Amino acid sequence: MKPSANFLLIVVCVLPNCAADFWEYFIGPRLSTGNGSERAAPKVTDQLVRSYGYRLDTHLVASQTGHILTLHRIPRGRKAAGTKPRPVAFIHHGLFGCSDMWLSRGPHLDLPYILADSGYDVWLFNTRGNVYSRKHKSLDPDRDAEYWNFGIEEMGYYDLPVTIDYILNITNQKDLFYLGHSIGSSTGFITCSLRPEYNSKIRLFMALGPLAHIRHPLNLLHKVLFSLLSPALSLVESMNIYEIWPRRFHISRLVEAACEDGSPFQKLCLMLIFSVVGEDPTQLNTTTFPNFVQYYPAGTSLKVVSNIVQYYVSGEFARFSGGKTVPFIYDLAKVTAPVALYYGPGDLLVTQEDVDYLSHRLGNVTGKFRIPYKHFNHLDFVLANNARSLLYNNLLSVMEKYK
């Protein structure tokens, strides 16, 4: 069957459902109604990574709040043998992400494999509430709203410290390389600012398109988007939906069919994505991109999304306040771990202005890198065809100096 026919079939199949409950369908399940059966079984990271010839280990870490987090570890490269200690490279995904969004393209393209093959012990984080870390000691994410009561600060204050300690203990290292994409950097800054004893556990912090203070003027589309999101999120919450964009098979199929080569909706699909992250048609492989939606999005809490909206609307890197009080602004001078900043000239979400401002507030900036390609956007940190030559090789050589 032609892909477009395939897509039409899917639309026809799902229409009765989505008419029945648009929000639940496109945003996330309501508490207690969803029984989890429609959720796609996680595309097993194990199988994916092993299929490329690497070893993969899974570790569970319990946060102080009872949330149970899954860490994925690629302890060494394909050709490496033995158990000699290797420096740790810890990778923290961005909004709606998870570990395997970094792993689907294979050894020559994806950062974790490149790091592993260059001699690093690679650990991939999964933030609480995503497809791999949707567990708790006592709360049930399908039934308990309390499970979802967290924003970005909880991840930085509780989850990262316990994770860093866990990794350092297992690997017998005293510090690690931290690579954070987008809010994967925000959480690390929060950790280092609120719990300064963790600065010494980060040998080098590589901040890729780091989200913190927003200093660029929002374009019209983003202005509209963020101003619509606030009321939309309140509406969603009033319907008892607390989990946003979990990984779900029917949605992945729908988006995949819409975006694949030959689909009449591919242009629209790309236009929507580029309007959010920045337009860069040459670095996105439109043939393989649809496969990526099996891995992304992977779910987060409504409060995390509201938290990001607050960052953009207020412009400040501050504690989530729900608009009620004057928010507490994080003291970035307390981030004394050395930080290398990277930004994409074509990134619409985190721009040079934001990163310039950030570089003046952080306590210990060791470098600020403009990725040498004028269209490099927010998604390119993960998915650019030439990410290796444009960015990853630079990361490796900067890390080499700290080895």
Ligand X SMILES: *[C@@H]1O[C@H](CO)[C@@H](O)[C@H](O)[C@H]1NC(C)=O
Q: Is residue 397 part of the contact set for ligand X (CB under 6 A)?
A: no
- Determine the interface stretch with ligand X among 143-151, 239-247, 250-258, 284-292 (rule: CB under 6 A): 284-292
Out of 291, 336, 352, 359, the residue judged to bind ligand X by CB under 6 A: 336
Alpha-carbon distance of 134 to 220, in angstroms, equals 35
Q: Is residue 219 part of the contact set for ligand X (CB under 6 A)?
A: no
Out of 1, 37, 79, 84, the residue judged to bind ligand X by CB under 6 A: 37
Which runs of consecutive H residues, i.e. helices, occur in 239-295?
249-259, 266-277, 289-292
Number of residues that bind ligand X (CB under 6 A): 13
Q: Which of 182, 193, 301, 306 is flagged as catalytic? A: 182
Q: Is residue 83 part of the contact set for ligand X (CB under 6 A)?
A: no
Q: Is residue 288 part of the contact set for ligand X (CB under 6 A)?
A: yes
- Determine the interface stretch with ligand X among 89-97, 215-223, 281-289, 371-379 (rule: CB under 6 A): 281-289
Per-residue binder mask for ligand X (CB under 6 A), 239-278, x = binder: ----------------------------------------
- Whether 144 is catalytic: no
Q: Rounded to the nearest whole angstrom, what is the least distance from the CB of residue 196 to ligand X in the complex?
A: 10
CB nearer ligand X, residue 192 or residue 258: 192
Q: Which of 100, 110, 347, 354 is flagged as catalytic? A: 347
Q: Is residue 3 part of the contact set for ligand X (CB under 6 A)?
A: no
Alpha-carbon distance of 12 to 252, in angstroms, equals 16
Q: Rounded to the nearest whole angstrom, what is the least distance from the CB of residue 64 to ligand X in the complex?
A: 13
CA 372, chain centre distance (Å) = 23
Q: Is residue 171 part of the contact set for ligand X (CB under 6 A)?
A: no
- Whether 185 is catalytic: no
In 3D space, the residue among 278, 241, 272, 331 whose CA is nearest the CA of residue 32 turns out to be 241
Q: Is residue 32 part of the contact set for ligand X (CB under 6 A)?
A: no
CB nearer ligand X, residue 98 or residue 337: 337
Q: Is residue 285 part of the contact set for ligand X (CB under 6 A)?
A: yes
- Whether 108 is catalytic: no
CB nearer ligand X, residue 162 or residue 276: 162
Q: Which long-range contacts (CB under 8 A, 24 or more apart) does 30-35 make?
A: 30/239, 30/240, 30/241, 31/142, 31/143, 31/144, 31/145, 31/240, 31/241, 31/242, 32/142, 32/143, 32/240, 34/142, 35/142
Amino acid making up residue 185: S
Sign of the CA dihedral 315, 320, 324, 329?
A: negative
Cβ(76)–Cβ(86) below 8 Å: yes
CB atoms within 10 A of CB 2: 9
Q: Rounded to the nearest whole angstrom, what is the least distance from the CB of residue 355 to ligand X in the complex?
A: 18
Mention every residue, 6+ apart, whose C-beta is less than 8 A from residue 223. none
- The two structure tokens encoding residue 159: 């989850």
Length of the chain: 403
Q: Is residue 35 part of the contact set for ligand X (CB under 6 A)?
A: yes
CB atoms within 10 A of CB 262: 11
Alpha-carbon distance of 204 to 177, in angstroms, equals 5
**What are the angstrom distances between the C-alpha of 252 and each of 5, 81, 133, 287?**
17, 37, 19, 16
* CA-based radius of gyration for the chain: 20
Out of 334, 352, 385, 398, the residue judged to bind ligand X by CB under 6 A: 385
- The two structure tokens encoding residue 293: 């939606």
Q: Rounded to the nearest whole angstrom, what is the least distance from the CB of residue 179 to ligand X in the complex?
A: 16
**What are the angstrom distances between the C-alpha of 132 and each of 59, 69, 99?**
11, 7, 8
Q: Rounded to the nearest whole angstrom, what is the least distance from the CB of residue 104 to ligand X in the complex?
A: 11
- Determine the interface stretch with ligand X among 17-25, 127-135, 163-171, 295-303 (rule: CB under 6 A): 163-171
CB nearer ligand X, residue 170 or residue 239: 170
In 3D space, the residue among 165, 153, 152, 158 whose CA is nearest the CA of residue 136 turns out to be 158
Q: Which residues have a catalytic role annotated?
A: 182, 347, 378
Binding site for ligand X (CB under 6 A): 35, 37, 166, 169-170, 285, 287-288, 336, 338, 363-364, 385
